[in-house]
Chain A
Amino acid sequence: MPNRVAIVGIGQTHHAGHRYDVSFEELFNEATRAALEDAQLTVKDIDAAIVSNMDPFDGRGCVDTILVGESGAYLKSGVKPQTGGTTGGTSFSVAWTYAASGLFDTVLVVSGEKQEECGGDSQSVIMTAVDELTLRPFYTGALGGLAMRASRYIAETGCPEEIAALERVIMDENALANPYAHLRLGITVEDVLKSPMLIYPVRLLHMSPQSNGSTALVLASEEKAKRITDKPVWIRDVVTVHQSGFIRFLSGLSPDPSSHIVAAKKLYERNGITKPMEEIDLFEMYDPCIWEQIIWMEDFLLLEKGTAPKLIEKGVTRRDGAFPICPSGGVVCTNDIGATALTRVAEAALQTRGDAGEHQVTKEVNLAMASAWGAANWTVLSLLSKAID
């Protein structure tokens, strides 16, 4: 049985369109310092550091060599995971494993991205992750897979564009209440419907931006956590499910359920959850495109296909709703890829602690869920709780 681990420090930079004023590792350093300050710890208290980004997005490979000094990892244990968009989630999972194993007491995890450094064209960089032999000529980076999935969902359920527009506006309202979010636009449903079509059916406003920023967490084993803070956020469980990286396996085209469904079932079973929408209080979902938020609501909550649009219309996903989704604004408002999945956990933890300020959900939070996703269709699903058991 793993030892109990809690999140004792949360830090993030303001996620922005540009951070020309700092270099890559200086950006990570900002988040690292913020997390350490939040935990009231120094680097000397850290036993291991997990650092990550999605390379080569920042025009660099093997970024661990550059990040060590700035992330408190100098001459210490640690590892640099890289799993595409899932990176932040995988890093969190690795940090949890380090601390839960009993081998390390205090583990720092910092993830980030400085997307402006790939010349602002991150889609072309994602292409290097797409099979060169059979897929590259047709694909449009991550957009390709997202658009194809959305295209099929619309064909199967007849979900109108207005639902996607409505949910996008809800996300924007959340972002306006979150000072760390990147896109805080003040848009209307009309604005979304009129936004330019990038790759059918995905419009510009449906899609996440290219952000620059970093997020860091400090994790501690039970004994240490109780001494460090009186508001530890306990990590109940983390489930990772990998999926084959071929589009033929994407939802609807695969004989098997998506990695999201497999992860959700596993998480619920392991934690005795039978009614996720009632027993879990909020969900920071990794939603790179607003269409995916709709489709994956059904996947993660094990709902029947085509039922999510009605829930959205009823206001269920709002901050004051019965099951808030992405009260931070989510990925459609902020996407510094390496950091994004870790930011989901950070925001879920802030909500559990009651420290989310203006974007705190109205209901009491005892159990929060956060997901991570990468273009190869990997899922990392985390469950955080206020109470230790």
Chain B
Amino acid sequence: MSEELIFLNGRTWIPTVYYVGEFRTKFFEEIRDNKRILGVRCPECKCVYVPPRATCPRCFNKLSEWVPVGNQGTVLTYTTVYYDTRVQAIQPKKPPFTYGIIKLDGADTGLIHFIDQYHASDLKVGMRVEAVFKEQCTGSILDIECFKPV
């Protein structure tokens, strides 16, 4: 039977706001005020977490040793987005754009951020990149504009 299909259009709109917490505020303030990236080291397993976190998930120690990790690092992996979903909540930029996981010098974990290069032939795993900061910083991960090849 060819019955008409009825659809209802709807929307979920919630004014969400996420509090950074006093611990991680230090990380963002350092980026905003000094254009410097910090990690935090676990006294037991010596793992340096970037972005930082208050507890080491492996050892459950409360973390407090801040270490500068430099603004340069190596690309562990990357991808380029071509498909436009047209949904604001999902895509931060208009495609095409590239982002990847960058291991900053001195860090043991990877940081996800945009990489300023979208021609696939120029991008390479293992490539060296450097953080590019915005002129006006507000204390957000997007104070880093992107990572550029060195």
A→B interface (CB under 8 Å): 19-26, 29, 42-43, 56, 59, 68-70, 72, 74-75, 114, 116-121, 124-125, 128, 132-133, 136
The CA of A120 and the CA of B15, in the complex, are separated in Å by: 8
Whether the pair A26, B23 counts as a contact (CB closer than 8 A) is yes
Given contacts A70-B55, A132-B8, contact A24 B18 (CB under 8 A): yes
Q: Is B10 an interface residue (CB 8 A)?
A: yes
Closest to B53 in A: A69
Q: Which listed residue (A21, A42, A119) contacts B16, Cβ 8 A?
A: A119
Whether the pair B57, A68 counts as a contact (CB closer than 8 A) is yes
28 inter-chain pairs at a CB distance below 8 angstroms, sorted by A residue, are A19-B19, A21-B19, A22-B19, A22-B21, A23-B23, A25-B53, A26-B55, A29-B55, A42-B60, A43-B60, A56-B14, A59-B14, A59-B16, A68-B57, A69-B55, A72-B60, A74-B57, A74-B58, A116-B17, A116-B19, A117-B17, A117-B19, A118-B14, A118-B15, A119-B14, A119-B15, A121-B15, A125-B14
Closest to B58 in A: A74
Q: Is B3 an interface residue (CB 8 A)?
A: no
The CA of A59 and the CA of B89, in the complex, are separated in Å by: 12
Within 8 A of A (CB), among B14-32: 14-24
The CA of A26 and the CA of B53, in the complex, are separated in Å by: 9
Whether the pair B57, A119 counts as a contact (CB closer than 8 A) is no
Determine how close the nearest CB of chain B comes to the CB of A134; give it in whole angstroms.
Answer: 10
Closest to A114 in B: B19
Most buried by B among A68, A74, A75, A136: A74
Given contacts A26-B21, A74-B58, A132-B8, contact A117 B53 (CB under 8 A): no
Closest to A29 in B: B55
The CA of A23 and the CA of B55, in the complex, are separated in Å by: 12
Determine how close the nearest CB of chain A comes to the CB of B61; give it in whole angstroms.
Answer: 10
A residues in contact with B2, CB < 8 Å: none
Whether the pair B57, A23 counts as a contact (CB closer than 8 A) is no
Most buried by B among A42, A69, A114: A69
Determine how close the nearest CB of chain B comes to the CB of A383; give it in whole angstroms.
Answer: 32
B residues in contact with A22, CB < 8 Å: 19, 21-23
In the complex, the 8 A-B pairs of residues with the closest C-beta atoms, listed nearest first: A69-B57, A119-B15, A59-B16, A23-B21, A74-B57, A43-B60, A22-B21, A20-B19
Whether the pair A70, B57 counts as a contact (CB closer than 8 A) is yes
Main secondary structure of the interface of B (DSSP, over half): mixed
| Interface magnitude class on chain B | 20 to 34
The CA of A120 and the CA of B14, in the complex, are separated in Å by: 9
A residues in contact with B55, CB < 8 Å: 26, 29, 69-70
The CA of A136 and the CA of B18, in the complex, are separated in Å by: 26
B residues in contact with A59, CB < 8 Å: 14, 16-18
Within 8 A of A (CB), among B73-97: none
Closest to A132 in B: B10
B residues in contact with A124, CB < 8 Å: 13-14
Whether the pair A117, B18 counts as a contact (CB closer than 8 A) is yes
Whether the pair B21, A21 counts as a contact (CB closer than 8 A) is yes
Closest to A68 in B: B57
The CA of A42 and the CA of B44, in the complex, are separated in Å by: 15
Most buried by A among B53, B56, B58, B60: B60
The CA of A116 and the CA of B53, in the complex, are separated in Å by: 21
Determine how close the nearest CB of chain A comes to the CB of B113; give it in whole angstroms.
Answer: 19
Q: Is B132 an interface residue (CB 8 A)?
A: no
Most buried by A among B12, B16, B22, B53: B16
The CA of A43 and the CA of B55, in the complex, are separated in Å by: 12
A residues in contact with B17, CB < 8 Å: 59, 116-117, 119
Known: A59-B17, A74-B58. 14 other contacts (CB 8 A): A21-B19, A21-B22, A22-B19, A22-B22, A26-B23, A26-B54, A70-B57, A114-B19, A116-B19, A119-B17, A120-B15, A121-B15, A124-B13, A132-B8
Closest to A20 in B: B19
The CA of A43 and the CA of B19, in the complex, are separated in Å by: 26
Q: Which listed residue (A23, A42, A133) contacts B19, Cβ 8 A?
A: A23
Determine how close the nearest CB of chain B comes to the CB of A112; give it in whole angstroms.
Answer: 14
A residues in contact with B20, CB < 8 Å: 23
Determine how close the nearest CB of chain A comes to the CB of B51; give it in whole angstroms.
Answer: 11
A residues in contact with B60, CB < 8 Å: 42-43, 72
Closest to B22 in A: A21
Determine how close the nearest CB of chain B comes to the CB of A151; give it in whole angstroms.
Answer: 27
Q: Which listed residue (A23, A29, A75) contacts B18, Cβ 8 A?
A: A23
Whether the pair B12, A118 counts as a contact (CB closer than 8 A) is no
Closest to A72 in B: B60
A residues in contact with B18, CB < 8 Å: 23-24, 59, 117
Closest to B59 in A: A43
Whether the pair B8, A133 counts as a contact (CB closer than 8 A) is yes
B residues in contact with A136, CB < 8 Å: 10
B residues in contact with A19, CB < 8 Å: 19
The CA of A136 and the CA of B55, in the complex, are separated in Å by: 41
A residues in contact with B16, CB < 8 Å: 59, 117-119
